[in-house]
Amino acid sequence: MKTIAFFLLMFFILQFTVAQNDFQRVFNSKINSTKENVRIEFLDDLGNSGYLPISIIKGKTHGPVFTIVAGVHGYEYPPIIATQALLKEINPEELRGTLIIIPIANLASFYTRTPFINPQDQKNLNNAFPGKKVGSITDRIAFFIRENIIAVSDVFLDVHGGDAPEDLLPFVCYYDNQRKQEQTNLAKKLSENSGFQYVVSYPYKLTATEAAKYTFKQAVQDGKIALSIECGKLGNVQKENVNLIQQGIYNMLETMDMYYNGTGAHKDIVYRNRQTYVKANVDGIFYSNFKAGDEVKKDEVVGYTTDEFGTILEEHIAISDGIILYMLATPPVNAKDTVMCISSYVEN
């Protein structure tokens, strides 16, 4: 019996190794104008299995490697649906360089309709970087993305939206990494050309050895040009948000001289570089008369939380003036949740 178990184990390990090399084999192929899909299999020590779908589109001529990831959070649908449209539309004959597209990074979250986390190991893929070679399934997926996909990317775009309970104003964002000015400048230029009105930058203070946690922050730490789109809300597919994402990606590809289907930058770009976060201190039922995109004033009451009998437990207060970039928009609230992200602009 032990021998059979050993051979079975070897068989699984071998399968795993072969499957993981599939990406490298396709990516390194010298054949132009091709589109190949691979599924990278994962199996962890807890018995969780799954795969990462990856489409590799090689253009007619040599050029940059541009990666697009959707579904790191599987309940954020507009990024996933926009990516599906791109997969259908993009003609390799008209492409310069290579596109790597991960249409749904967290399939278990998608198919079980679970916000934020992978229900198999209860981990958030967007909190798991750099990942672990031998960890639970989310750690392994993060590790694979970093070692194989980020490593070969020139530009890395991670597309998100408001998750199931979140209202959100569409925006494009990048890290203001002062130590890598060239990459930061190009991430800013891609953001400005995306067609999104709101261009948001985050401060970047990560050292080389700290865990990046977030998917596109890992790409920044690894010296790549990286940015993120946030578009869509409340676990729904809004046609206008799908279109914004699609157009945003075409505009970025055009900026990179890789594909020509752009519509140009927004005529009235609004820059934001300072975010404050209103946090909940209690569990309860959340109320607010505000929505994403509304202006709020410092010290204004922006919502409140009651217990199950209607007694007010907490009033939520704006920490700064600004617009609501995203906010909780459904009743359940848990202590430590971000109730609201308020965004403003300060001159350096």
Within 79-98, which residues bind Zn ion (CB under 5 A)?
A: none
Q: Fill in the DSSP letter of residue 148.
A: I
Say how many residues touch Zn ion, by CB under 5 A.
Answer: 3
Q: Contact region for Zn ion (CB under 5 A) — 1-9, 72-80, 182-190, 236-244?
A: 72-80
CA distance 273 to 206: 17
Shortest approach of Zn ion to residue 63 CB, angstroms? Answer: 29
Shortest approach of Zn ion to residue 236 CB, angstroms? Answer: 14
CA 105 distance to own-chain centroid: 9
Q: Fill in the DSSP letter of residue 283.
A: -
User: Which of 146, 160, 224, 233 forms a contact with Zn ion (CB under 5 A)?
Assistant: 160
CB nearer Zn ion, residue 59 or residue 131: 131
* Residues in CB range of 1: below 8 A, 6 or more apart: none
CA distance 170 to 153: 25
Structure tokens at 124: 């958030």
CB 157 within 8 A of CB 252: yes
CA distance 254 to 217: 23
User: Which of 23, 26, 50, 73 forms a contact with Zn ion (CB under 5 A)?
Assistant: 73
* Residues in CB range of 3: below 8 A, 6 or more apart: none
Q: Does 224 interact with Zn ion (rule: CB under 5 A)?
A: no
Shortest approach of Zn ion to residue 163 CB, angstroms? Answer: 6
CB nearer Zn ion, residue 66 or residue 77: 77
Shortest approach of Zn ion to residue 263 CB, angstroms? Answer: 25
Shortest approach of Zn ion to residue 175 CB, angstroms? Answer: 16
CA distances from 30 to 34, 38, 54, 58 (A): 10, 17, 18, 9
102 DSSP β-pair partners? 69
Q: Contact region for Zn ion (CB under 5 A) — 132-140, 156-164, 300-308, 325-333?
A: 156-164
Shortest approach of Zn ion to residue 328 CB, angstroms? Answer: 14
**Residues within the interface to Zn ion (CB under 5 A):** 73, 76, 160
